[in-house]
Structure 1
Amino acid sequence: MKIAMIVSMKYGPTKFLHRDVEALLDKNNLIKIFTLLQNKGLYNPTERWRVIPVSRTRVIFSQIPVFLKKRAVYLKLLREAFQLNAVKNFLIAVSFYKQIKDDEIIYAYFGDHKLFTGYFCKMLTGVPLVVSIRAYELYRNPNNAMFVKALAQCDRIVTITNHNKKRLMEHFGAQEDKIEIVRQIIELDKFKPIPKIKILIVGFFAEKKGHEVLFKAIKILQRDDIELWVVGDINRSIVQIDGRKLAEQIGIADRVAFFGEQSGNALRALYRECDIFCLPSRPDRYGDHEGFPNVIAEAMASGKPVVSTFHAGIPEAVDDFLVEENNAHQLAKALETACNSAKLRQEIGEKNRRRAETLFSAQNNDALQEILKKHARSIV
């Protein structure tokens, strides 16, 4: 089927637009995607997408040929466009005329300017028009009069809830027999209740934090029941790394969730919900070392088992799962031991909590206060 989709990608394709296009392409449809606005976003067109953006040059130079070919229709629609404050949509539709006229269906993705443009495309070409209605168009439509006009000419109106269907009929006069409920699709193979062992690393993307060693260890493990949670981002470290790119290069991107920088309640929630905390610290290429990473103390206080390295002051507080620096195989073995026993994780986590209460309590500040007081000079 030859489909002309009219969309907007102002902030990149939305997740549901991306899913719908990919699913339609998987069914061997030939799709041209006419986009009124286009920018990059979280989801972006794949190589399979044939994207046709609005071109100011094409808008200008397409008017006369279409006018000469469809004079009566052109003038009638132009009058309508002026009356309904939709001239821009009309001019854009004219610029799409040549590329849409041989398609089998026009599919307007949302009932706003995409639908308005689709309406004029249908009236110029005679190609049937289907619109997909989500929600906002029913409450904050940019042009209610144009919306009602365009809906009346739709061959089918697709919406995602019965509530929307009722509102389309009661507020915009849509015919019931034209409306079909088609709920959104979800990637059920990805969104399903699978028990995972969550390994958490917290720290800015610097070489000494050991992200590369951990990523390689995850690769070595080759376990589908492990998910790596990465908190942190690029920082002004002397030796930065690109964590996301590194995960792609090592081949574990499908097992990693990047949370960016987090603090406060969000960070505490991640500590609570993870099963294992791992920070394989190491010297960077210039010899910079950790002191004692605060995130290890936070993980211990959260009652989590900690997997780390014989690095700097870390062995002074952690002694259950320590491996050599820069040794991904040893790290993988330690992680596997922790992953294989929930009972062991609980026992070590409880021990770490008790140790944190001893080593990292607020009483440490009392000791600091006494040191400062003892060595402060007297001011008369």
Structure 2
Amino acid sequence: MSRAFWESPRHAEFRTRVREILRNAVLPHADRWEAQGHVDPEAWKTLAAQGLLSHGHHGEAFLESAILLEELGRTGYAGVRAGVGVHAYMATSYLDLFGTPAQREAYLEPARRGERLAALAITEADAGSDLSRLRTRARPREGGGLLVDGEKLYVANGSQASFFVTLVRTRDQKAAPRALTGVSLLLIDADSPGVRRTGQRMLGWRSADVCEVVFDNVAVPEDRVLGRRDHALMHIVQGLDFERLAAGLLAVGGVAHCLELLEEHIRRRRVKDTPLYGHQAVRHAFAELTADHDLVSQYGRHAAWLHSRGELDSRTATVLKLKATELAVRAAHVCLQFHGAQGCLDESTAARLYRDASAGTIAAGASELLRDLI
């Protein structure tokens, strides 16, 4: 795979270092994390000590983040990459962009040190791609602050998180109840009275610690409003572009891993004394995926460069997320097919890649919604 036009020798050295760190800090433990349903708490501090939780969300520093996101995907464990991506980029990006100095000190800096784990609580039963159906509400609390009631679903890092970046309604919309106005982002501590968390068994992303989170009359101080109260829509739109950029880059790395596994298998596996690679249909299927990956990876690196210059638009982020995650599904399907019955075993790598790829086309905006946006 060719380099990005902006990738200097320094960036290449960074990629090599990140790959080595992840090989030592993630790969020996990832199967156990998959089985237990979450990343070990100590692992966050290990990643933080190596500087992997504090790379920039914007500016030229984001180019290193783009490399890190690709390499996270390349580990082949989408549950791990989802958890790290949510913590280091998606949830904390709102703090980086809109947090007050006090909020950054209390939440962002400990998150970067691996001392506090972040989660993003946005989706609800009736409010996924269509956030206008949001029902979680925050009402004024006697004596100051807010009281929050509602349920959030599919919260990555849910059981282990120290705090949730949470989207709530803070103003009644009697005239237009489905309008996405009067909404706010809140920082809600996970140990607050009234917070309940229940794990959700997922088809894939098994180490992402996906949970249902219930807020039952949870008291939230006024200074935990993140960004402009009642005007979080503009924050969410900006955050979703960034989230889709990150999701696309993670998927690009995931496809690279899948293709490496696939190439190794079709060169090694023999049918009637001929490697699978010796059959034209197999070679052409692999070539098609490789060509598409080359295109999507360069598009992703261009999108990362645009973001580093403050020029990323919603369309580019959306196209990247759509094409990268759907390519991941196609690659995983071919990988599973060419592994035959072995690939259908629950414990096989091909089966895990197939399970994990499906979730990527739903999280951060289902493919059908993204096509409407494009």
Q: Same fold (TM over 0.5)?
A: no
After TM superposition, the score normalised by the length of structure 2 is: 0.21
Of structures 1 and 2, the larger Rg is shown by: 1
User: Which of the two has greater helix per residue?
Assistant: 2
* Larger RCO, structure (CA 8 Å, separation 6 or more): 2
